[in-house]
């Protein structure tokens, strides 16, 4: 029955997208056969007034009708232009995560259930909501800190959002499985794996203790950084469904007129924003991955304060070195080195030719060197780079896609503040400093130290590895002699799972088909 319910919800979502003109706005003229027939049919069922809107507006209206979980789906897919395409990713990135507020009484109940204490014992004053998004809303409140009443921001999970999201998640998984099964060309995009990533990231975002931990970690990383910080966390008043943090007094970065009235140097703020982001990415390998201007405040002294750390990105040492070397390679026009870095990182399969890959990279780099520095977009460079790597079978790297998406947003904010913003000149001190410290003699010494530690750890595990090797050798000998066999229970379980999967897929397809026929009959 779960698959039947998921099928109905999926059919409803498809119908809403059709009626709001989202399907009709897609470039269907390039299609052929049954997909083109479906696109033409969708145009017939589109609301007439929807045809007057731009595609991004149609998408926004459809998502609002579908509910909070679809807002989150849209925001997630905005980070995956490899899946939905660059144009659609830009439209999705424009979705405003603004929802209606829910009653204060429900917020109070959620806080008291999560923390096991009365709101009156936790806060001197607990006010009405000041902002609401798809997963949570924020209240202004006051709490006693060191004997002084201090203003705080209290973020509370939206009631019922987990249940609704996981119901809709069944529909997403059904759509992903059907896509993989019936559209072979989509399998390289790994739709089921993409859906699993969405499920995991949203689970994390719906546990406000984890957001508090991310704020705490970023706060420790940036405590000595000039001009950037995050709000401090009140751990005593933080739980799974509630996050209490320092109240931020400042001007939102999307309020350009307000920043100018406050006397801020917009060029300095733009430079500080980019350098802070690159510092977090290269130095710490941990960055705020949702740095749109609504999440950024500027305090009276010019310090940038970043809030809403529900989405964070991490880069390992290999990924950080990869990023720094490709940026440095483009700056110095060393395209062969950029290509070699891709192969050394294991991102491009070895069967491809390094020189041929370097030639493709040169096609990206040379036009850039003919432009003024202030017109060159680092985010655009990474976008073109990832497009070229698809030709060489580079597997999807979610951590790099998230980095690219965040860089697009951050660079866009910087150019809003300073239209003549020179990304390369601003980034050079951070990128150059990291390269000098990590790819020069000092970096070689650090690598040698890390290698020695790894060898020591391996030596300690040698007896256990030898025992495992001996067991594996004996099992391989037995397998060679008797063949690979499943026990009766395993074989029965595999057959049962396969039958259930096939049956569920057929039931879901029939449900969707019957629902669409019913809708068409009602309209006609």
Angle at alpha carbon of residue 163, lines to 158 and 168, rounded to 5°: 110
Measure the CA–CA gap between 155 and 242, rounded to whole angstroms.
Answer: 6
Q: What DSSP state is assigned to residue 52?
A: G
Angle at alpha carbon of residue 137, lines to 136 and 140, rounded to 5°: 145
Measure the CA–CA gap between 68 and 135, rounded to whole angstroms.
Answer: 7
CB 231 within 8 A of CB 216: no
Written as six digits, the tokens of 182 are 């019936």
**Nearest partner of 196 among 347, 76, 75, judged by Cα:** 76
Measure the CA–CA gap between 344 and 339, rounded to whole angstroms.
Answer: 9
CB 243 within 8 A of CB 208: yes
Question: Which residues have a Cβ under 8 Å from the Cβ of 466 and sit 6 or more positions away?
Answer: none
CB 20 within 8 A of CB 33: no
**Nearest partner of 38 among 25, 49, 20, 23, judged by Cα:** 23
Which residues are catalytic, by number? 290
Written as six digits, the tokens of 329 are 């390679």
3-state secondary structure of 159: coil
**Total Cβ atoms within 10 A of residue 416:** 15
Measure the CA–CA gap between 54 and 52, rounded to whole angstroms.
Answer: 7
């Amino acid at each position: 029955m779960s698959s039947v319910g998921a099928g109905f919800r999926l059919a409803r979502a498809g119908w809403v997208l059709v009626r709001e003109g989202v399907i009709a706005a897609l470039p269907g003229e390039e299609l052929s056969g049954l997909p083109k027939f479906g696109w033409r049919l969708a145009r017939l069922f589109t609301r007439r007034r929807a045809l007057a809107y731009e595609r991004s507006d149609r998408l926004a209206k459809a998502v609002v009708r579908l509910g909070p979980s679809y807002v989150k789906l849209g925001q997630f897919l905005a980070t995956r232009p490899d899946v939905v395409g660059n144009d659609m990713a830009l439209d999705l990135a424009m979705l405003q995560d603004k929802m209606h507020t829910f009653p204060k009484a429900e917020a109070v109940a959620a806080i008291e259930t999560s923390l096991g204490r009365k709101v009156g014992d936790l806060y001197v004053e607990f006010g009405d909501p000041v902002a609401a998004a798809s997963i949570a809303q924020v209240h202004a409140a006051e709490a006693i800190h060191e004997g002084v009443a201090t203003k705080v921001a209290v973020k509370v999970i939206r009631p019922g959002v987990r249940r609704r999201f996981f119901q809709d998640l069944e529909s997403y998984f059904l759509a992903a499985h059907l896509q993989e099964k019936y559209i072979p060309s989509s399998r390289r995009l790994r739709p089921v794996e993409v859906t699993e990533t969405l499920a995991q990231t949203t689970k994390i975002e719906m546990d406000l203790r984890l957001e508090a931990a991310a704020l705490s970690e970023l706060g420790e990383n940036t405590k000595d950084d000039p001009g950037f910080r995050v709000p401090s966390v009140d751990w005593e008043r933080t739980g799974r469904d509630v996050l209490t943090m320092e109240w931020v007094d400042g001007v939102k970065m999307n309020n350009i007129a307000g920043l100018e009235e406050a006397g801020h140097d917009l060029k300095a703020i733009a430079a500080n924003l980019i350098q802070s982001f690159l510092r977090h990415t290269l130095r710490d390998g941990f960055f705020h991955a949702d740095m749109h201007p609504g999440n950024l405040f500027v305090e009276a002294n010019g310090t940038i304060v970043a809030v809403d750390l529900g989405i964070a990105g991490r880069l390992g040492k290999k990924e950080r070195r990869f990023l720094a070397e490709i940026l440095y390679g483009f700056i110095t026009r060393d395209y062969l080195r950029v290509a070699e870095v891709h192969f050394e990182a294991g991102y491009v399969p070895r069967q491809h030719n390094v020189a041929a890959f370097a030639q493709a990279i040169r096609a990206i780099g040379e036009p850039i060197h003919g432009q003024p520095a202030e017109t060159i977009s680092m985010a655009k460079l990474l976008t073109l780079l990832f497009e070229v790597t698809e030709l060489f079978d580079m597997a999807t790297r979610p951590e790099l896609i998230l980095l690219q998406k965040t860089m697009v947003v951050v660079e866009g904010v910087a150019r809003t503040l300073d239209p003549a913003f020179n990304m390369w000149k601003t980034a050079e001190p951070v990128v150059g400093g990291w390269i000098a410290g990590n790819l020069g003699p000092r970096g070689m010494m650090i690598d040698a130290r890390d290698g020695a530690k790894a060898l020591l750890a391996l030596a300690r595990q040698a007896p256990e590895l030898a025992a495992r090797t001996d067991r594996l050798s004996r099992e391989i000998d037995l397998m060679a002699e008797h063949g690979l066999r499943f026990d009766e229970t395993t074989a029965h379980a595999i057959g049962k799972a396969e039958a259930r999967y096939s049956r569920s897929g057929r039931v879901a397809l029939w449900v969707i088909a019957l629902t669409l026929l019913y809708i068409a009959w009602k309209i006609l």
